[in-house]
Structure 1
């Protein structure tokens, strides 16, 4: 836009001084649009660009004749409608059609008029028009790349956010049940094929006396306890471990490829982290866990694992709460 106005300014300075002020206004507007550019103003910028070119080409051709060659820029603008497309395809097609009609009208009305400027200057103007038309197409193709890239990045960001939301619990931001079920099924198959002295550990935990917490302090407090426990669980385990809100106040944790030494270490760390979460009366939060250790090579199904850890959790509740009930499955043992 600025380049086209610069060419127009050159012509007006030579032949049509009264129109100089209008051209300067267009240059100023072009600079402002360039400085204030924002993707959300794309339609406004596109419209301003088209109207600017249409008006300048019309003024120059009607005052100086068709032979100035300035119409070449309008031809370029017609072809770059793809790059400066409006949000509505129909509006884009209408704009291109109107510009084409204008070009045809200007040709038939002014093609036979005697040139008002010397042939040497006309040749220079034609060359400049071709160069500017090429420059416009080049710049606007880059402009289109920016818009396309920005749009793609926005879509990718929204897709990633939707994918994350579909895999995570809204309140705790832990993995949700559907996601962890797929993960556990995969890890059970992988563990069957593993060898060595590591284990697959599955833990099912439940916040002790959670109903009483809700009844005593309200559901808002209960939600805060859930978030505090989720944070404590994430701090207790490794980056490669999976922590999930299984449902209500229950949490499922998967520890793949785990050595016995780490299991003892994480049990102590887990109790300490959870006790750091406090109720309004400063009483520490406690949890009971069922822990199933599957040695490498063990073949056990998803439903069997869930049944076993749920049974262990129940035993932990029966045995006084705030504890971990443990069972080890070795290769060749019955699940």
Structure 2
């Protein structure tokens, strides 16, 4: 879940020249809990919340405009924390907890205000957050249960890809689990950025990810898998420049027949085949190529 999925885009704004009366009217007329102060370029400067109002009227003389109000409250323009519209929601929640704040302005890539994230709106979204993996910001395996009815109704082919980070245990052993977490997050973000927004990327378990590609036949599954493999190889870790990460991928094509989990199992078998053939590669299988089940060792 991303910030844009929870934020409100109908934000009430004032500029530094707005009067105290205009500010108070916003709170009274609109029955809102916060107002964002913006400059002429519509970039957020600060937030004034409802709980700030009593403090304003305790000062003498009473501030006449928003600029003076910010000075009175000791709110430094440079101290405002903002989040990007495409940021994983869990990262925004971590910021709120770290700095003990209840509202965050949401900006686009040009730093212009596009929305507001509030703790109240996040709390309303708690049921949906059950389906979020808090480390990577991706949906978790539980989310797959919600998707299955949609997948069964989907017209056209669906591609399933299982991706697994190669030698992940060695990364944890050599660099520590904190670096391992950074690797998981970086790979997750890379996978998410390199498929369509309508496609699904799920942290399936540990260092394994399930990618669901709508309207994607087996040839395209192979092509997308190869692109993902190459993009992961390009990841650079600033604090560990010598660390290079690769993934192995297995794919298949689903056309609405039989059990969906059987096809996910088929993609997992293709992944195992990619591992057996040397790792850092993409393999695809058709259902008729599925081997008889046999117990296999852990995927490394």
Q: Shorter-chain TM-score category?
A: 0.5 to 0.7
User: Cα distance 1:328–1:251, how it changes in 2: closer, same or farther (>3 A)?
Assistant: same
User: Cα distance 1:206–1:275, how it changes in 2: closer, same or farther (>3 A)?
Assistant: same
CA distance in 1, matches of 2:280, 2:259: 28
Candidates 138, 141, 153, aligned match of 1:190: 153
The within-5 A match list for 1:224-243 is 224-243=182-201
- The structure whose Rg is larger is 1
CA distance in 1, matches of 2:201, 2:189: 10
1:282-319: CA deviations, max 9, x gaps?
Answer: 2431111121112x3x4121332232222222221111
Instruction: Tell whether 2:270 aligns with 1:312.
Output: yes
TM-score (norm 1): 0.48
CA distance in 1, matches of 2:274, 2:177: 25
Contact residue 226 and residue 281 of structure 2 kept, 8 A = no
Deviation at 1:182, TM superposition (A): 2.4
The equivalent residue for 1:284 is 244
User: Cα distance 1:154–1:323, how it changes in 2: closer, same or farther (>3 A)?
Assistant: closer
CA distance in 2, matches of 1:305, 1:35: 58
User: Cα distance 1:319–1:187, how it changes in 2: closer, same or farther (>3 A)?
Assistant: farther
The equivalent residue for 1:223 is 181
Identify unmatched segments of 5+ residues in structure 1. Answer: 1-30, 46-152, 331-335
Contact residue 218 and residue 284 of structure 2 kept, 8 A = no
Instruction: Tell whether 2:135 aligns with 1:171.
Output: yes
Contact residue 159 and residue 218 of structure 2 kept, 8 A = no
Deviation at 1:238, TM superposition (A): 0.6
The equivalent residue for 2:51 is 40
CA distance in 2, matches of 1:300, 1:231: 32
Higher strand share: 2
Contact residue 288 and residue 313 of structure 1 kept, 8 A = yes
CA distance in 2, matches of 1:231, 1:169: 12
CA distance in 1, matches of 2:163, 2:127: 26
Contact residue 161 and residue 225 of structure 2 kept, 8 A = no
Instruction: Tell whether 2:213 aligns with 1:250.
Output: no
CA distance in 2, matches of 1:155, 1:283: 40
Deviation at 1:207, TM superposition (A): 0.3
Candidates 114, 122, 145, aligned match of 1:181: 145
Higher helix share: 1
Contact residue 251 and residue 285 of structure 2 kept, 8 A = yes
Contact residue 159 and residue 214 of structure 2 kept, 8 A = yes
Computed over aligned residues only, the root mean square deviation of the Cα atoms, in angstroms, reads 3.4
CA distance in 2, matches of 1:186, 1:168: 19
SS in 1 for 2:146: helix
Instruction: Tell whether 2:169 aligns with 1:158.
Output: no
TM-score (norm 2): 0.54
Contact residue 235 and residue 273 of structure 1 kept, 8 A = no
CA distance in 1, matches of 2:26, 2:212: 52
Identify unmatched segments of 5+ residues in structure 2. Answer: 1-20, 28-48, 57-117, 289-300
CA distance in 2, matches of 1:42, 1:311: 62
Deviation at 1:164, TM superposition (A): 4.5
Candidates 244, 262, 274, aligned match of 2:232: 274
